[in-house]
Structure formats: structure tokens, C-alpha cells
Structure 1
């Protein structure tokens, strides 16, 4: 989850229009205190509980309440679309293997990946029935968010479990260069050398 809230509050300080900080129930009061101490207010920064292993109601709360706008939809199309979520920021959220499947399923929910695609993989999903295709054409979906994952290597097993699970969803991924030297790479960033470590990487993960 959000942990100490540094990533979320930094995003807000850098101008993010709306930030939703999530963690398990017991961490929520401390996150609220940090929001107040840093003088942020709703709706720019909001805090809510999200347990990856029991997430259905929490995600509905995020979509229907926290991300909802006061603007009245001007058409049926606008009314049926979920509010836009641009990025999922996750920093060092994986430390035990058994949480990886729940995290990946939560990412899939936030990226609007269908159950058929999760169960069968990308190839089978592309051959889905005409009724499923009709449903997709009549029910508009927003552009799925991009996941930025700061990941610390801890074990080969965790690595394989995480990336195999993301591949199964048909997601694309790219390791972001942290030296800032490649000016042709729009994703390249500069991180001070004292913070760069061999076992630390930032991954960009997205759905095409």
C-alpha cells in the first residue's frame, strides 16, 4: 500500500490533480495525519482502505465516490464510462510471494482487464465470442491507466511470479532508464547515483 505516503504526497506536490492513497485499514489513520500535516485537502488528496485480497467494495468506492466528478454527463455514453485514472503508482509493495497474485488481480481490475483475458491469456481473448465483442463496442471504456512500479529484487521466485502474471494479462512492460542519458527516450529519468542500486528498478507497465 501507500506506506508512509511519500510517493502519493510527492505526486500531489508536483501537481497531480487528484491522488488516492490506499493501504490496509490499520494504515489509514496514519495516512490521514500525513495528509493534514502536509496541508493537502480533498478532493486533491484522498485516503481509503484497499485490501488486495478483498477489494471489490473498496474499488467500487474509488470509482463511484472518490473519482466521481460533479459534472453531469451530457450523454448516455459519458454516463456509462468509469472516471479516468491516469497512473497507478506502486513503490516497493511486494515483499512476500503470496501477495503477488492479489496485487496483479487488483492491477487488472484498475486496468479494466476482462475476466476472460485473465483466465485465458491474450491470444484467446482476441478470439472471444461476437457477443463479447458487441458488449465491448457498446460499453465504452476509458484509456487504462499506466502502472509505474518501483521494484526491489528480493528473490528469483518473486520476480518470476510477478512478471509471468503480468505477461499472462497481455501487458507490456519496460524498464525505465535512471541515468537520464538517453535524450531520445521520453521515459528516461535521472536519479541521483546515491539512490540507484543494482537490485532496484522502475518498471512502466501498460495495456495496449
Structure 2
């Protein structure tokens, strides 16, 4: 897609969902950071169940360090890769205390220096917590970028760069949410429900499924 086509695609998604928000539950920048770090290879639903009790026990970096890996583990045991995530959450919290006075930095390099925090996690935190115009590319957005022609790329970074070039400035902050929710609920990996897609007219996917399967 060119920029005009990409804008039309996003405007269609925006009309269907004017006020998109993350589905992760959080209280502030720190709990958002923890939730996003825990969400790798795990659904938001599973993370929200885990953090419901975790954040009651520890909702600050100091409390998380005091809880320790053994204390964090029981809360997140049901989500994927929980052992490593428990270690990362505690180590991340300690570094926030040591380097940033217990506050979550609004700087990409500082965020990515934290254990368990990659570019995608940093982008989500910068976008949601600090209002920055970033594009976090997860599996859903990577799929949409390629399938729809919105921003084809062989790597998440290529898709991110393509989206950053094609998204109108006034839509950048919300575009991540429009795309991830669209990929999660309509443009699904195995069976895209094109007949429900508000942007089907703009989509360049050659194998559109324009009618629901017969029952």
C-alpha cells in the first residue's frame, strides 16, 4: 500500500473502534511494564489473571524485589515461560530502583536495558504510559502488515518501519491498538473473517474470505 491507501485502511478501522485501548490490566507505568513483559508468548487474558493477584502482592518495584522470584512464581505459574519471567520481573524491578529511583524511564534505550524488555515491550510502554508515537509489532501486527499489504516486511522491525512511514501522524498513537485488536478478533491467523472487516475494501489480501463458512 501507499500512504493514501494505508490511511484509508486505518481510517476504516478507526471508524469501527474510535477509542482503542490495550486489553492488559495495569495501574501505572510500572504495572504496565510488568504486564507487557509477562505477555510474551501468552494471551492478555492469561496475563490479566496472573497480575490480578501479583499486583495485589507487589505493585511497586520495591515490593516486587521484596517478594522475590520465589514469591512472584506462584502468581504467574500458569503463563508461558514463567520461570524466566519471574526472574526478569524481579531483576527489572531491582534495576529500576538502582538506576531510576524506582521510576519507569520514558526512554527507549533505558527501557531496553532492563531484563526481559525488548523493542516491542518498550514501544508499548512508551506509547501507552507516556503517550509517545511508537508502533509495537507483535505477531498479530506482523501478520497484518504482510497479509493486507499495509507494511510488508521479513522482520518485525521492517514492518514497524513501514507502518511508521505510512501511518498519518495523528493516527500513530492509536494505530498499534487498532491493528492488534483487528488481528486478534477479525484478521485471525488461520481463518481471517473478512466478511466482518471494516477495511476489507482497502485490504490487498488476494484470498479474502467474504462469507462465513456454512454450518
TM-score > 0.5, shorter chain as reference = no
Instruction: Tell me which protein shows more strand as a share of its residues.
Output: 1
Q: TM-score, normalised by structure 2?
A: 0.28
> TM-score normalised to the size of structure 1?
0.29
